[in-house]
């Protein structure tokens, strides 16, 4: 009978006595002396937050070795039975360690973290000690018997810190049975400095092993292959390296004795402990998947990629606890890859979505390519476009100050361009046209305009009595927020009588990926089109107007760009009603009110979306404006406005998302969520602007804005001020 030798450490044990420290009621990660004595576990990331949250709890590691010092402090509460392959006896009393090797190995894998001595990689894992050695060598049949016992006891991980120069039939048969039973075997590569692992580690590359055997080599403190360690060789695809020099672990001479040892025997339990941590975090993982995760997340050493020295690389437990491969979200229509393209919440629903995120209603789980679940806050995919007060004031002043004052008569057709020519016959709406507008007059009663930006000189001309200043601070309450600054508008107006005007037109907005996503390919991801018609009645004392709009959005709803986890099926159809009224308070003063209401039809979620459906949604916004010209000097303008922006007032979004995985099967656990689209508060705005000419070519603008319950967040205030001076050359 062949007598394979155990993979002995190359250095003689250095006996160490642990310091006595005060115990705490909780178990924090090791620190101080315990941390310094746990260098192997620390170097592979065993004490990071993710690893520490699991620590191998509920997983059994069978240590097929010299037995165990069962009363050692490092094994308090860790043992689950025991087996003596020599006598067939079971229980902890049957595996007394007379050598120290088995105790040291077991503590590196699963020594308790108690503030004393050292801590293993999986400090909450169960240890099943199996004694197959009582000296430096043993019989192959005893090793095979020990492996078979571990298989019968359903130990998920079997650590074999042993080796021989040639394979043995009985050991291979026992390992094949363990493989079929779904167990993971972690085997020391050997200490001969050879080009290939010793046996049985070398079985890892054989087809029957099915990726369930990990051959383990040792690296030194500089992560260089240890001089004594056998290399990866022909088992490179199934070979890892781990710290294996100068590691401190439990020793057999007393319950408080420790020793420093080196060898692939020490590296192997470091990997076994890491496998236990992975398995405890996701109990449904198979042995093959557990091993593959460790292989794929190893830190590359030596030649790039898998090589004949380091194999797959250095064990990296911290990385192994992160998602591997593509990440999948499971929602209303099943599993789908989690897109990196973020969604964007506009102002209409931002308050409701922000409140839902704060309440944890977007918190669920995603799954990696191995089916492991990871907690994920899906609100991270949502970029809420919070209002920027200074930017709002800049846009407001820019519109008010961008037009030239000079008027000039002309023929029956005129062009208004970026050169800011002004024509009296176009009417009051041309008094302050910003850049980016072309406006044409057709006869005495018709006109049309092509404009870029958020407003149209025809469709968005606020109602004010003839001869009084038109209010400008009205954009925030209207449906134009669904189009934004990238919109293009074509509109026409026809005077039916001197006091009655018909107006109609269309709008288009296209949002490209570069505006909202992590990468800017320029692909159009959202589009909104709108058709509008309305009528306006104006006298020198009273003004009334009413407009109705039909808006169709693709890839968005109420201005929210939803193209990934929150994508909706088909188009969002919204009907908007705009009402305005104004009265003259003086020769150069007007008071106006504006009300916008919208109704958006229900929609269902797209394939791969977390959204099941969105119900019918209503939104409302209003403003009251006081405007006066020639307040302090001739040609100046003053306006103050109060109101609330267009905000969703009713509706709900229903979601189905995974919140975890069944610990036995790995099947996603689904949860129904209902997100109210009525926010917890309505933003209220108070805005003031004053513009005055300095000379013929210069003007000065001052604007103030206060927002209360800003962005729909109760108690949030935002106050902004802006001063702007423009001179044209």
Of 161, 265, 580, 637, the catalytic one is 265
Distance CA 315, CA 25 (A): 32
Which tokens is 336 given? Answer: 């789908």
E strand intervals along 360-487: 363-367, 373-377, 382-384, 437-442, 446-452
Look at the block and give the residue holding tokens 């004595």: 37
Q: Which of 9, 38, 42, 65 is catalytic?
A: 65
Terminal-residue alpha carbon distance, the chain: 103
**Catalytic-role residue among 42, 97, 101, 711:** 101
Closest CA to 301 of 287, 320, 316, 285: 316
Assess whether 709 carries a catalytic annotation: no
Nearest to 565 by CA among 363, 422, 382, 306: 382
Q: Are 572 and 558 in contact (CB under 8 A)?
A: yes
Q: Answer yes or no: 615 catalytic.
A: no
Buried/exposed code over 216-232 (b: 16+ C-beta within 10 A; e: otherwise)? bbbbbeeeebbebbbbb
Return the number of other C-beta atoms located less than 10 Å from residue 34's C-beta: 20
101 annotated active-site: yes
> From CA 78, how far away is CA 57, in angstroms rounded?
10
Distance CA 53, CA 332 (A): 30
**CB neighbours of 5 closer than 8 A, spacing ≥ 6?**
136, 137, 162, 163, 164
Extended beta strands in 85-195, E state:
126-131, 157-160, 184-188
Q: Do 104 and 68 form a contact (C-beta atoms < 8 A)?
A: no
* Alpha helices (H) in 210-347, listed in sequence order: 264-281, 287-296, 317-320
Helix axes 101-110, 264-281, angle to 10 degrees: 30
HSE, CB side, 13 Å, CA atoms: give it for residue 503.
28
Q: Find the angle CA(377)-CA(380)-CA(384) to the nearest 5 degrees.
A: 135
The answer to whether residues 151 and 174 touch, using CB atoms and an 8 Å cutoff, is yes
Catalytic residues: 65, 101, 265
């Amino acid at each position: 009978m062949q007598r394979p030798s155990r993979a002995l450490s190359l250095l003689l044990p250095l006996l160490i006595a642990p310091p006595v420290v005060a115990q705490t009621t909780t178990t924090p990660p090791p620190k101080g002396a315990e941390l310094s004595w746990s260098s192997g576990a620390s170097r592979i990331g065993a004490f990071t937050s993710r690893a520490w949250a699991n620590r191998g709890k509920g997983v059994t590691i069978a240590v097929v070795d010299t037995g165990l010092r069962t009363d050692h402090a490092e094994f308090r509460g860790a043992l689950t039975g025991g087996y003596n392959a020599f006598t067939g006896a079971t229980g902890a009393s049957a595996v007394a360690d007379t050598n120290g090797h088995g105790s040291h190995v077991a503590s590196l894998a699963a020594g308790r973290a108690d503030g004393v001595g050292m801590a293993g990689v999986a400090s909450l894992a169960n240890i099943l000690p199996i004694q197959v050695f009582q000296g430096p060598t043993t019989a192959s049949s005893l090793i095979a018997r020990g492996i078979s016992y571990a298989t019968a006891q359903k130990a998920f991980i079997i650590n074999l810190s042993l080796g021989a120069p040639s394979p043995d039939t009985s050991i291979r048969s026992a390992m094949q049975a363990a493989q079929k039973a779904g167990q993971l075997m972690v085997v020391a590569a050997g200490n001969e400095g050879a080009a290939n692992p010793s046996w049985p580690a070398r079985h890892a590359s054989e087809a029957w092993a099915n990726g369930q055997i990990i051959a383990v080599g040792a690296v030194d403190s500089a992560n260089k292959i240890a001089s004594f360690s056998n290399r990866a060789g022909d088992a490179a695809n199934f070979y890892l390296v781990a710290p294996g020099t100068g590691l401190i672990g439990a020793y057999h001479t007393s319950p408080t004795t420790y020793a420093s040892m080196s060898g692939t025997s020490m590296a192997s339990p470091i990997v076994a402990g890491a496998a236990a941590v992975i398995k405890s975090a996701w109990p449904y993982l198979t042995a093959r998947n557990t091993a593959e995760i460790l292989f794929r997340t190893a830190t590359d050493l030596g030649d790039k990629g898998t090589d004949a020295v380091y194999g797959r690389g250095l064990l990296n437990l911290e990385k192994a606890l992160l998602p591997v491969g593509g990440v999948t979200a499971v929602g209303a229509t099943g599993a789908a890859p989690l897109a990196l393209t973020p969604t964007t919440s506009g102002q209409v629903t931002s308050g409701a979505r922000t409140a839902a995120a704060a309440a944890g209603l977007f918190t669920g789980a995603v799954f990696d390519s191995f089916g492991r679940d990871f907690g994920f806050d899906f609100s991270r995919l949502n970029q809420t476009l919070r209002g920027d007060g200074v930017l709002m004031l800049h846009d407001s002043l820019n519109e008010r100050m961008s037009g030239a004052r000079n008027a000039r008569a002309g023929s029956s057709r005129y062009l208004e361009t970026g050169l800011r020519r002004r024509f009296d016959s176009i009417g009051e709406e041309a008094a302050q046209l910003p850049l980016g507008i072309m406006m044409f007059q057709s006869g005495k009663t018709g006109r049309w305009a092509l404009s870029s930006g958020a407003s149209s000189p025809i469709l968005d001309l606020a109602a004010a009595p003839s001869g009084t200043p038109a209010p400008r601070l009205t954009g925030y309450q209207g449906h134009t927020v669904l189009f934004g600054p990238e919109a293009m508008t074509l509109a026409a107006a026809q005077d039916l009588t001197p006091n009655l005007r018909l107006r109609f037109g269309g709008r288009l907005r296209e949002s490209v990926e570069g505006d909202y996503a992590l990468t800017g390919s320029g692909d159009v991801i959202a589009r909104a089109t709108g058709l509008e018609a309305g009528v306006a009645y104006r006298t020198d004392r009273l003004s009334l107007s009413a407009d109705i709009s039909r808006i169709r959005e693709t890839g968005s709803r109420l201005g929210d760009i939803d193209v990934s986890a929150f994508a909706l099926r088909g188009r969002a159809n919204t009907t908007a009603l705009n009402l305005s009224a104004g009265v003259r308070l003086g020769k150069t003063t007007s008071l106006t009110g504006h009300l916008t209401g919208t109704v958006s039809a229900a929609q269902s979620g797209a394939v791969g979306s977390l959204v099941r459906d969105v119900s019918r949604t209503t939104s409302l916004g209003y403003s009251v404006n006081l405007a006066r010209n020639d307040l302090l000097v001739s040609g100046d303008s003053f306006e103050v406005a109060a109101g609330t922006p267009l905000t969703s007032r009713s509706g709900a979004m229903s979601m189905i998302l995974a919140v975890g995985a069944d610990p036995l099967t790995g099947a996603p656990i689904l949860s129904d969520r209902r997100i109210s689209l009525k926010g917890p508060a309505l933003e209220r705005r108070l805005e003031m602007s004053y513009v005055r000419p300095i000379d013929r070519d210069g003007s000065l603008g001052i604007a103030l804005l206060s927002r209360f319950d800003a962005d729909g967040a109760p108690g949030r205030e935002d106050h902004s001020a802006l001063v702007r001076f423009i001179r044209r050359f």
